[in-house]
Structure formats: structure tokens, C-alpha cells
Structure 1
Amino acid sequence: MKSEVQPEQQNVPAVAAQQVGATRSINDYAESAARYVTTGQRGAANTQRAYAGDWQRFTLWCQEHGRHSLPADVPTLAAFVTALADAGKKVATIQRHCASISKAHQLARLPTPTDDRQFKELMEGISREKGVRQKQAPAFTLAYFKRALHSIDAARPDGLRDRALLLLGLAGAFRRDELASIDIGHLHFDEDGLVVDLLHSKTNQKGEAEEKAIFFSPDRRSCPVRAVKDWLHLLEQHGRTEGPLFLSFHKGQRLSRRRLSTFSLNEIVQLRLGAQYTAHSLRASFVTIAKLNGADDSEVMNQTKHKTTDMIRRYTRLDNIRQHNAAQKLGL
């Protein structure tokens, strides 16, 4: 995000004569306090990146049309979102642009044009005309997943890594950034399986203690705990006993020291499972498969770390007309 939207230093009340402890006055805490406030306002790293791109698009559009981006008036914002809608952008994309513009104004301590009543009516009209249904990552069946898993050559280092990545991603219902950010030190094995420390997540931006439990599977070929252990054994052979769990490879199957990016992680899922799937399909499939096997919402939420059952219903992909259908229970 451009410098014009960076928040100004916060004013922290100071009492020059008052001392905190033996050496520091309240003034000494101003810089740290301002940093904490700024961190709270900005939000998660992924959100910052998305907002930065949307804000840049808006500022460029304003420059092209001779309008001010900060502060932006309602007619300017209305023209911008109308241009997005006419260009075929999805409602969710338009709403995200509005959120980034609103955030920029909040950080600059300026009134946000998105609060205007007439602008909200415009957005309501766009939503009604274009519809608000979001394209969601498709879920796969467990049978399909196992067939794809068994086709991976585990004799190759990247095959060993990809098996561990797919199994851990599914069994742990991880978001892609969570999966990519796992370090070896976050893994704790015991006789029941594996516990993964989850330091940060979309719903846990404050770093509160969260864990995910991964269990042994009777079938070794589809056991996430054993797959992770196999991958760790290979890492240990290369002297990697700490740092990122999932690493990229140089050409020729030479292990690098670079953490696997979320983009590469997504490519691996599509390579192994098919181009129609994404890394988010691992999480969506966990919810769908678990629900079809009788798990209740609280059990699912214990692993996904969702905060509401509404999100569980949204994540459940029951697209097959014969799945989870009450017509089977009529007793005819």
C-alpha cells in the first residue's frame, strides 16, 4: 500500500514527570504503543497483501480519471465500483476493493465513502443484479484421494514430500498458509499420533495457543502420521532437523533450503489431484468427508478452528444429489 495510506504516529498521552519503574517515563512507551495500534489496524498478512493490490488498482484508476483517491468522495467510489461491475468482476471482488478503500481511509483518520447510504444502495443493486454466490474450491471423495495418493512414487524425494503434504493437509484441515508455515519444531509425536502447534491462523491472529491432532491410520499407505515421519527421516538424512517442514527442490531432486511457498503448494495439489482442485480443496474435503461420515459440527470445528457453525455449512460440499439426502430415509 502506498505511503499516503500509512497511519500517522499515534498520540499517546504523556506525563513528563511521571515515572514507570526506575528509569522509563510514560513517554518512552509511545513508540511501542503506536506500533501495537498500527498492527491491530492492519490485520493479517494475507489481508494486507490483498488490500494493497486493491488499493493500488483504485489509485491508478483515480489517476487515469483525474480524481482524488485519498480522500475519495462518493461519486468517485461509485464510478469505480460501477466500472468493476461493468467489467464483469464478481461481487466478492468488488466488496473486497471497497473494504481496502475503507481501510485506507480509516488508517488515514478520514471518513470513508463506503458508509454513504446511497453508495450502499448502489452496492445492493450490484449484488442483486450480479448475484453473490462465490465460486468455492471443489471437494474430492476419499476414494478419489486415495487413488491419487497411491499413484505417487514415494521412492522419489518429491513424492515423499507430496504424500506427507497432502495427507497432513487433509487430516489437519489446514489452510494453505498454515500448511506452508509449519516448522519441524511445531510437530510433537506420541503413541496416539501427532500434534501440530498452530501459531497463527486466519481466526487466530494474536498467536494464542492452538493445536491440531493427527491420528494414525490402519492403512500405512494413507497414514498421515507415518507419511510425515517418512518425510522427516529424509530431511534428517540431509541434515535438516529444524526450520521449515516443507521445502522446495532444485532441479534433479536436490533439496533446497527454501520454504515451500503457498503458490507452489497449490501447484502440487493440482499436479497430484487434478487441475480442478486447489490447496483449499484439502480443507473443504475434510469438512465434507467428515460430515458424510457422521461427524457433528463441534467435532469438525475442533480441527478446522472455525468459530461458527455457519462457516461449516458453507464449507460442506454436498454437490452430489444422492449424498446426504433425506429421501433415503423415507422407509419406502
Structure 2
Amino acid sequence: MGQLTVRPGHPGSPQLNLTPLKRSHALLDPAQLSDMAEEAAHDLMAEGESSNTRVSYRTAMRYWAAWFGARYGRQMDLPMPVPVVVQFIVDHAERSTKAGLVHQLPPEIDAALVEAGFKGKAGAPALNTLMHRISVLSMAHHLAKQPNPCTDSAVKALLSKTRKAYAKRNATPHKQRALTEEPFEAVLETCDDSLKGKRDRALLLFAWSSGGRRRSEVSEAVFENLRGADEGGYHYTLANSKTNHNGKVKPEDVKPVVGTAAQALEAWLEASGITTGPLFRRINKAGRLGEGALTGTAIRDIVKARCSLAGVGEDFSAHSLRSGFVTEAGRQNMPLQETMAMTGHRSMDVVTGYFRAGAAQVSAVARMMDSGSRPTPEE
């Protein structure tokens, strides 16, 4: 492939010399993180986050290193200068011009990053992706105890204006659709009585009904943390989650799995014969149970595949189970505190957006002009 060689020129104005090189000598090599950046990436992964989060951190750090190497012709190091972070933002954020939406990343670098596997496709990334990469860089500086360029007033002001610019174009950060009761029931209908069908039905109901479990929590669920409840169904103990890294079990970490969800889980355990280890496992092409737990990626793929089979749309993901639980709780006027106890949310700012969206759908205030919504005036 054509590789990228960068000749540093005047500071802030690197001159590019695009020279075909062999892949083995690629400048954009994921192994080329500097010692400090590598240490920061390891620190991030050591924070006790889920496997999915660790992968996203490392991916973001690799992208930073590859972009920096392509832009400046040397390995990335911390602390990052403020002008570099500003350059990263304008390279990846679209802005309106007379010629349409543009961003500053040179096409040659863009193509090389795609070719080397650091980007899925050419062009500006989603706003969510850009903000996530800035957040990861900020955390890397914090953990390395280095001056943080992401908290500089110029960077913060630029990010704020960038978000407002996207909002004015109705290009706000994308949120996965919430899988509320009606589409969720349609998804469950796609699960037949095969071993895979019983597994998927139990997995989906376990994740949704026990409070909208994260895919990492479903992937890491084990039989040993499941016990029967005196009142019927099960109690599942979240010994490790995004909000519980030390394994100390608190009352709110015990989640009920009852009703339809308990029935589906019981059917899966009976069919699979699982009595120890991971609750939700791979099933091979011959329809036989595997030993290893499903990964977070596999759980995401199950949700998307079942949604596609049900014909409810393509824009659902594993997180749709969590947002769907909260949104449905709002629709059914469930107490917010009880909902948060189930989900494990600590911040009301995070959960109330979905909760209020669900409540608004059944709001009488929103239907004041509907026929029959007003009381009949007394004669």
C-alpha cells in the first residue's frame, strides 16, 4: 500500500511527502506508541473498566498516536501541546463553508489512516467519536499526572462551539434507539425453542428486565452469582460492574430476575445444563454449547440480529436494552428512584433524559388538544 512519510517543516505547518513504502515499514504502526503513551494506555486499562471500555480506550490512544505520527512525523508523547489538540479537533470536526461541509484532515493522511486500519472509512468521524477521543486523551494526561491540554480554555471553547455548530445543523451526537416494550416483545418473538433461541431469549430478558444490564455485565454473568428467590424467580448479584469495581456487594447490587425473565432463564439453564461458570455461552455451528462466555461484541451482534429478524429497525444496539428499560419505566410512570436502583445509575442527569422521554409519550399535558382529553363543561 502507499504509506505516509512526513517531513517536519515550519512548526504548525508540516510538509507532507507521500512515498510508497512497504507495510512492514509503515509510519502508521499501532506498535509505535511512545513509552509514556503506552504507559498511559496501560493505566487506562488498569482502571478496572469493562473489557469493552478498555478496548475503546486503547483504540482511541492508538488513533491519537497514528494521527500524530502522520501529522508531525514523530512519535506521540505526553503532555500534548494545546495547538496539537486544537489541530486534532479541526482535522476531525466538520464546519460549514460555501463549498459545503469540510474538515481539515488532508485526504492523503485520511486515506492512509483508513488503509492502515485506524479508521473504518474516510471522512470526518461522528461527533461522539471525536468527543470520546478527546476525553480519552484528557484521562491519559490525568493518570500520567501531566498538564492537561484538554482543560485549556481555548480547547474547551472550541469544543463548546463545535457542539453548538453540530446542533445548529441538527447533527447532534447519535443515541441508539431505546428498545421499549412493544419492539422488545417483537424481538423476543424471533427466539424459537432451539438451544440458541432459548439462550437469546433468556439473555435478552435477563439484560432488559433486571434493570437494563450493560453488555459487559451480561458477558461476565456467572451461575455462581445466581440464587433462587423465596418469592419465586431469582436474585442475581452484580459482583463487578461499571459502578462497583471492588467486588464488595451492596444491597443495591442484588437484582431481581422474576416473571417472564425468570421463566426464560430457567428454560435456558435446563436446556443447556449449565451449573457453573458463565451463564451465557457460545453455541457452535453444530448447535452444541461451548465453554467460553459470550463477548460484549457477540451480545451486541445478537441484539442487532434479533432486531433485524423482528423488522423493528436497524438502529438498535446492546445499549438499547438499557435505555429501553429506563424509557419504558418513564412511560409506565414508575418511580424514578426505583428505576435508578434497578439500573445502578448514580447520576440523575444520565438517567432522567431517557426517563422523561418515556414519560412525555404518555403525558396528558402533551395531549390537551386531542379529542376527548378535555372535561365536558357543566351545563
Tell me whether 1:103 sits opposite 2:110 in the alignment. no
Distance 1:43 1:96 in 2: 18
Tell me whether 1:58 sits opposite 2:98 in the alignment. no
Counterparts in 2 of 1:136-155, with a 5 A limit? 136-154=175-193
What residue number does 1:69 align with? 76
What residue number does 1:84 align with? 92
Structure 1 residue ranges without an equivalent (≥5)? 9-34, 217-222
8 Å CA contact 2:331–2:358 kept in 1: the answer is no
Shift of 1:297: 0.4
RMSD (Å) for aligned C-alpha atoms: 2.7
What residue number does 1:121 align with? 157
Aligned with residue 316 of structure 1, among 343, 355, 358: 355
Shift of 1:233: 1.0
Aligned with residue 247 of structure 2, among 168, 182, 207: 207
What residue number does 2:299 align with? 265
Shift of 1:124: 1.9
Counterparts in 2 of 1:1-332, with a 5 A limit? 2=33, 3-7=35-39, 42=47, 44-45=49-50, 46-66=52-72, 69-71=76-78, 72-85=80-93, 86=103, 87-131=123-167, 133-154=172-193, 156-172=194-210, 173-192=212-231, 193-209=233-249, 210-216=253-259, 223-236=260-273, 240-274=274-308, 275-316=314-355, 318=357, 323-328=362-367, 331-332=374-375
* Deviation larger for 90-99 or 241-250: 90-99
Shift of 1:327: 3.6
8 Å CA contact 1:5–1:107 kept in 2: the answer is no
Distance 1:99 1:178 in 2: 23
- Work out the number of aligned pairs and report it: 294
Distance 2:180 2:45 in 1: 39
User: What residue identity is the alignment partner of 2:229?
Assistant: D
Q: 1:159 to 1:117 in 2, by over 3 A?
A: same
Distance 1:135 1:127 in 2: 12
8 Å CA contact 2:128–2:173 kept in 1: the answer is yes
Q: 1:244 to 1:102 in 2, by over 3 A?
A: same
8 Å CA contact 2:177–2:320 kept in 1: the answer is yes
Deviations 1:38-57 (A, max 9, x none): 68973524433222211111
User: What residue identity is the alignment partner of 1:80?
Assistant: F
> SS of 2:290's equivalent?
strand
What residue number does 1:13 align with? none
8 Å CA contact 2:128–2:174 kept in 1: the answer is no
Runs of 4+ residues over 4 Å off in structure 1: 38-41, 319-322
Deviations 1:264-311 (A, max 9, x none): 111111222233321111111111222222201011011001113222
Shift of 1:91: 3.2
Distance 1:126 1:152 in 2: 43
Distance 1:140 1:108 in 2: 39
Q: TM-score, normalised by structure 1?
A: 0.80
User: What residue identity is the alignment partner of 1:226?
Assistant: Q
Structure 2 residue ranges without an equivalent (≥5)? 1-29, 94-102, 104-122, 309-313
Distance 2:356 2:61 in 1: 33
Q: 1:151 to 1:128 in 2, by over 3 A?
A: closer
